[in-house]
Structure 1
């Protein structure tokens, strides 16, 4: 089943609103991105306070505990120092966990950061085992260094996740700061290793190799990490690396690396190493102390830029959306309204105006085409061109109808003129035949043919719509009309007339009813075998007098019978293509003009029965003879001859019948 077609209104509105909807969607995405960027930059301070700073504090505590644990393994007297540092580490772990719960970041980077924090929480569980091994002295300094460094690496993975930012400058500063802190972690690994070495006074197994690796990584990573700093900060960083603190640190490292290898005595004491290490690492972390603050400052500035950009682009986008929506509604409404006016005008023209004008023209009425022209105010675009074309179509159709009506009027005049001339000649012929003293069989035939010619000539008058009159002859009985109509048929001898009710037909309808009955009788005799009879009878009904004409022909199919009855009930304008059924066209026109109902039905004897219902006002019951007025009218010889021909046909048809029928005729 086909769905209901979409209207032009919905199509136009859809075509206009789709770009507006797309613009709104793009604007909403831009607003969402701007808000997300601003929210992410706003969360930079929250990330610094609840993740970055607590994480750095925890790293510092772990670095200190690592150095203390290695010192415990190198000298038994370091237990008290290790115990106090463990308490500080536990406090830092608890503080980190509490602050991590307050983190309110959003987006994919926030989810990654929360995952890293969870991994770091699981890494804390390894501290208990490592501390137990240190207390039992069942672990080497190298293993302690590796174990604590592994936990610290989880902390740096958390710091790396906090560096993600929507602003490139903020992210670069954060990643540079974290890179420098990783370099600082190498310094603390070096300090932890050398704290144990200087306390023991010699290198243990693998410690010299570890020192070599740490020093090599340190000297590569510190300059590399600072290369991404802004230009002013790079100058300060390079000045710090070339200062006396880092120069002394490098000299001490070179002195330690020159000792040789495992088991060799170290040239530095623990106090000398601490005095060399502490100034350098303090300078580095002092430099890094402002890194987070700078990143937060950059984030605030970037957030302000985002908000300003959102305020400008979002506001302009909103204004553009409102203007587009207004123009879409206005333009779409204008187009839809004008199309609705055009559709209404076209429907009115097709279903009312044009048919009415054509009907008036065909009825002979004069119409001013210009004053009745379709005028539409639809602007000056393509829709207006369609309206103008529709107006031209109306004018052309009306002009064509007017020309057709004029031609039909002229043709009708020609037909009427020809019919009148034929009627005059036939009347003169009938009068001449009436003057013949002895009418033989040939004369009867000539008279009958003349009457049929007159009836055929009257077809033209009826089809042209002109008036037919029988002035001066007065009303006539229905039985006389039936008899005369039977006499006008070519094979009148086959017609059997039965009982016809006594009824009088007014003068105005005598000719039309006679013509109608004659046509039906002509059809009945023509379309039935020559050896059959056609029966005519009548009776009174609820609506008037009913006359039935029954033949014994081949009949008609159900569809043909239905179509014929429809044409008889609703007569249409005469079409020359239907000239083969000219008699039925004339019957339909006469029946419609006089209010007579004609219906064809199958008869009991295989033929067709034509039922003619004459209304009561055209079939007035006849009063008794003594009260019946005698018409004082004078008939012409032609009319007398028509009556004589009808009487002869009736006598011929009823020869051998009851005398009562002859008396009625």
Structure 2
């Protein structure tokens, strides 16, 4: 047993250790990538400033003296960026090799003006202020790690040789002191442009991000490739700006300048093509926007003008306008470059965070696994056999005794037998209806077959015989595990059969109620129509009284049929669209109860109930009045009141009886039944309280705001309050503006005639008995 447990656990721990090692390695790569991406963005910031200095320098050498002041500010930003790169091994060598003579070049450009002293004409004008693209970003600022330490000071071996010094003072190429004079030396425009271009190309070629750091993430790899291609395209645009800046300042191409111009444009097109292949859709959209500005279009016009001067013809162009337009384009490309760089940095940060979370999760999982292994190794031998034996015994008890007993108890309960009787009646009604409606015969048979199938599935199968104890002892643990599996299967079968029985029972109950209700309603409707025709044709008062009594009984039967439909969740049985007076609604409700003589219709304030709610309100009031009549003495009346609550914009009907009342516990249970509208309440509620469920479902059907409340009647009895919200009330009818409706017997008149006829019938019956 120990070997069986120990070997898999050791293998699991070994796999977990390898996984944690891989996560730790991934975390190291992610952190390295994040730092290298930050360095790459700082290099591009330095390149941007060098490109600007190159363009201004070339324009100044071409004769445009207005560039001298912004050139001085740009040199300061270049010096600041160079100081930040001094301690970066990936770029320090490039700076040392390609920017060592930067001070000499600058001094040659400034030979006529001391670079350390600004004349009044050299003061920055508002137009010369730094644009947002020229401001130092946080990545360009010197960090504490960038400050010179004693170990970073130049040693004698690092000092400039006489050949490297542009002045007697010399100077560090990455330092801040570049403003020196060079006597009568002059700077050649082509050589100066080549110097800056070589340095920018060398910096763009620096790729501090290692290949191993990006090979696992394609998105990061594509982002870095897009950043490099955009840097090449931006360099081409900036180089073109500087080249044509000098050409436009001098007025014509000289030497190889036109050939350089065409090569630069070809390089830009190729770089932009490669950029679009690896860039994302938002990045391509940003690039398109940068080349779609008015300044970019103006620069294109100048480029087209320069293309036509290949023969060395004179060029007449505003150097300042060309510089401004191209500077805006370069700055826009730099903004796109920064956006791409931000995307790459965000991706690197996300990979680093994911690696940290993954490593933390593996560490936590490894710790928990080690704790689990220790506990499992200590208690495995004694916690295996004994729990399985106890589990098998408990499973046998559930499968063979407790669960079958519960099923039998449910089947023998009165509620279960009543539901079965209702289901049988529903099936009988289906077969009876099939004789009258042949079109529904096949559907009824199919439904009956479904119910029979559900009952067959719900039958509880006899439990399997218990295995021989001696065989279980012989097989040991294997037999116990097999017993557990068999017992669980038996429990599952029993539970599923019970659930199938319950589902079939509920379905049969609901369908039976609905079918009985609909059929009874149709029969009663036909019966009422026939009685109405007989009442219109009959002239004998005695026979008319008998017909009135039949009419009353049929009306009560109709309410019972509608109650069945309500319990089955069917639609309103008597839809109407015309609003009705509140008094007519009350009279209609009273006409549907048995002991209507005991009902006293007290003050009912005028109100009109909307047509779609009339049937439900009348049915609801009839149920409440019937309940009050059943639970009050025969000599006590049941009162019906109605009033309008202006404060809450509701109308209230109160049904007041003076009977035996209800205890607080009974009232709480009644309120619960009035608030329940689900199928579970129908199946569990006692049959003598089904009227409460009918009321609850009718209130639920009336919608939000409708409610029934129970209160004690002063002096004994119970009062039921029906509250109707304002949305169920129709506006008051304007009797002066509305013509009177066609003459028809009013509800009250019909009710009075009905009562009179019943009274005569009862009197005649009494005389017959006495004689």
TM score, norm. by length of structure 1: 0.38
Structure number with bigger Rg: 1
TM score, norm. by length of structure 2: 0.33
